[in-house]
């Protein structure tokens, strides 16, 4: 667990750890206005579905408490990133509380969402730790740790809990092109936690699985459809397909705020396409030929048939159990 969440309230503004510059630099930045908060989300200073959701909720509540136009603030925040449904879910909760109970209550609701997210992620770890043997070799993708969720993480939470119990889990950290959230952020978290790991290129997953070097795969999610399909960082689908081919369990970890009961299946999930500069450049330095374009979908959809189970705050669920709980 980190010393403090990835962002926090400080005298009417939000202080956050700037994830764009990790691990080489550690900067705390301030986001006070809606434009600053929208920029923090859209440029990935804050990222990860649960973190985006609670960050958006806190931003909206602060704007309402300043007497600003709540509808305009909602729309700006809601449009900052389209795929992660936590943002929409959390914004709707805050807006609903504001309309029923007023501005002070909506700020309390936003802070409560932050506490609930941390608590849910801890429970995800407690339930998921039983999937991890003493020396299990886990492959993950992107960053679904404390940085992405305020604290503990989703995919990393079971690994953290297992390690703190005295186990010795090992993590294959896929780099996660194009923005390297795996090699920059997940590796940084695991290093600080003292958990053994190795960074590998995204294309090595099949090789490692074929050589019996992976015991299970755990990833996070940005949106879960009502039929159990999930959207996660681009490259997740390939790992799921390979895991099935080689008989390796593939689990998805997320809190309830990541579920979209109004989305019937994965093909209805909106996929964010980001600037081609994120592919053709790294930290502002061009790595592709001038004149070569690129295409940058940020997420892909993994059908439920490739998923062994879902690690939630309510336990490790099968597809049928998850779908039943969503209907309820």
Across the 328 residues of the chain, what is the mean pLDDT of every consecutive 10-residue run?
76 95 95 97 96 97 96 96 94 96 94 96 98 96 96 97 96 97 97 97 98 98 98 98 98 96 97 95 92 96 98 98 94
pLDDT at 187: 98
Q: Given 222, 229, 260, 300, which residue is catalytic?
A: 222
DSSP 126-141: HHHGGGS-TT-EEEE-
Going by C-beta distance under 8 Å and a sequence separation of 6 or more, which residues neighbour residue 139? 171, 172, 174, 205, 208, 209, 214, 216, 217, 218, 239
Going by C-beta distance under 8 Å and a sequence separation of 6 or more, which residues neighbour residue 25? 18
| Closest by Cα among 42, 58, 72 to 8 | 58
Q: For residues 168 and 196, what is the distance between their CA atoms, to the nearest angstrom? A: 8
Return the HEC string of 238-303. Answer: HHHHHHHHCCCCEEEECCHHHECCCCCCHHHCCCCEECCHHHHEECCEECCCCCCCCCEECEEEEC
Encode pLDDT of 80-93 as tens digits: 999 989 999 999 99
Q: Edge-to-edge strand order for the sheet containing 216-219?
A: 197-200, 170-174, 137-140, 216-219, 250-253, 309-312, 315-317
Q: For residues 97 and 57, what is the distance between their CA atoms, to the nearest angstrom? A: 11
Give yes or no: 222 in active site.
yes
pLDDT at 283: 84
pLDDT at 2: 42
pLDDT at 83: 92
Structural domains present in the chain? 7-121 (1.20.120.420), 125-327 (3.40.50.10470)
> H helices within the chain, ranges in order?
34-42, 49-65, 70-78, 85-101, 103-128, 146-149, 156-164, 181, 187-193, 205-210, 236-245, 277-280, 319-327
Other C-beta atoms lying within 10 Å of the C-beta of residue 295: 8
């Amino acid at each position: 667990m980190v010393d403090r969440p990835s962002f926090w309230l400080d005298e009417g503004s939000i202080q956050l750890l700037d994830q764009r510059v990790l691990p080489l630099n550690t900067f705390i930045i301030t986001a006070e206005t809606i434009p600053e908060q929208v920029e923090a989300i859209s440029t990935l200073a804050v990222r990860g579905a649960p973190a985006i959701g609670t960050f958006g909720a806190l931003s909206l509540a602060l704007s309402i408490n300043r007497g600003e136009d709540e509808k305009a603030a909602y729309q700006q925040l809601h449009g900052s990133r389209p795929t992660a449904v936590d943002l929409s879910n959390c914004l709707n909760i805050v807006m609903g509380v504001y309309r029923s109970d007023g501005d002070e209550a909506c700020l309390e609701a936003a802070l409560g969402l932050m506490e609930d997210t941390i608590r849910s992620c801890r429970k995800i770890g407690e339930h998921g730790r039983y999937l991890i043997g003493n020396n299990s070799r886990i492959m993950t993708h992107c960053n679904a740790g404390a940085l992405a969720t305020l604290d503990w993480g989703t995919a990393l939470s079971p690994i953290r809990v297992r390690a703190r119990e005295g186990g010795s889990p090992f993590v294959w950290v896929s780099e996660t092109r194009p923005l390297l959230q795996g090699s920059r952020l997940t590796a940084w978290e695991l290093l600080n936690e003292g958990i053994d790991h190795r960074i590998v290129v995204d294309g090595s997953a099949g090789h490692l699985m074929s050589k019996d070097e992976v015991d299970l795969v755990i990833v996070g999610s940005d949106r879960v459809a009502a039929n159990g399909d999930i959207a996660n960082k681009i490259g997740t689908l390939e790992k799921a397909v390979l895991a099935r081919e080689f008989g390796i369990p593939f689990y998805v970890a997320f809190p309830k705020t990541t579920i979209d009961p109004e989305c019937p299946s994965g093909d209805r999930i909106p996929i964010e396409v980001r600037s081609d500069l994120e592919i053709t450049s790294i930290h502002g330095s061009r790595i592709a030929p001038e004149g070569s374009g690129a295409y940058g979908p940020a997420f892909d959809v993994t059908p439920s048939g490739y998923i062994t189970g879902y690690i939630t705050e309510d336990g490790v669920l099968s597809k049928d159990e998850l779908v039943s709980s969503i209907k309820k």
